[in-house]
Amino acid sequence: MIGLTHHTVTLGPRTILRDVTFTPRPGELTALCGPNGAGKTTLLRALAGLLPHTIHPDPTRVAYLPQSARSAWGLTVRQVAELGRIPHGDRRTEPVDRALHLCGVEALRDTRIDRISGGEMRRAMLARAFATEPEVFLLDEPTADLDPAAAHDVMGLLRRTADTGKAVVVVLHAIDLALRYADRVVLLRDGRIEADLPANQALPNAAALFGLPYGLDPTPRLLPPD
């Protein structure tokens, strides 16, 4: 299993991650949460072996989906999903067909990727990750560009995927999705892990991290009379 132990990442003059220890766990969905610039994406890239001084995991066992994943080529949705088979060096159709179905883009299989919406493209990219049949999913903002119902659909899929024994790590800004679907919430600020908690215990810490109120409103507002 991949992981980081007391890991620090310095890019140019900036230290992005500071003494971070984190290991994804099989059968668990972990949400990485924190303000912009906290180091969430860098942590995910370090796990994927994309940064200097990190271990390069077996690409047949780890699927990494960056937030900026796009395809400007004239590929069809199915051809994009087939890219997930490259690490295996085969052209098996069953994993691709299953991934298209799971990610809700089966009806778009023959549509060019540059002729679908941003949300549909996000699902197509997710299908590429599923077609790899990995043991570990590393997904940066997998619900970006999705409407609320579609976001819940994707998070439900990832929840079920973790329940099959896969390790799933997602970067999320939507705390409500993290609390509802994750087993574990890792909160980052300024490149450090501030808390690593079961999701059902993470709300007070998450609220404090983002500077949001938590608890009973001390000045409740009454609805005006009809």
Domains (ranges, CATH) in the chain? 1-61+135-210 (3.40.50.300), 68-133 (no CATH)
| Long-range contacts, 180-186 (Cβ 8 Å, 24+) | 180/155, 181/29, 181/31, 181/155, 181/156, 182/29, 182/30, 182/31, 183/28, 183/29, 183/30, 184/25, 184/28, 184/29, 184/30, 184/31, 185/30, 185/31, 185/33, 186/22, 186/30, 186/31, 186/32, 186/33
pLDDT score for 1: 74
pTM for this structure? 0.91
Q: Which pLDDT tens digits describe the chain residue by residue (226 residues)?
A: 799 999 999 988 899 999 999 999 999 999 999 999 999 999 999 999 999 888 899 989 999 999 876 666 789 999 999 999 999 999 899 999 999 999 999 999 999 998 999 899 999 999 999 999 999 999 999 998 899 999 999 999 999 999 999 999 999 989 999 999 999 999 999 999 999 999 999 999 998 888 877 755 556 555 566 5
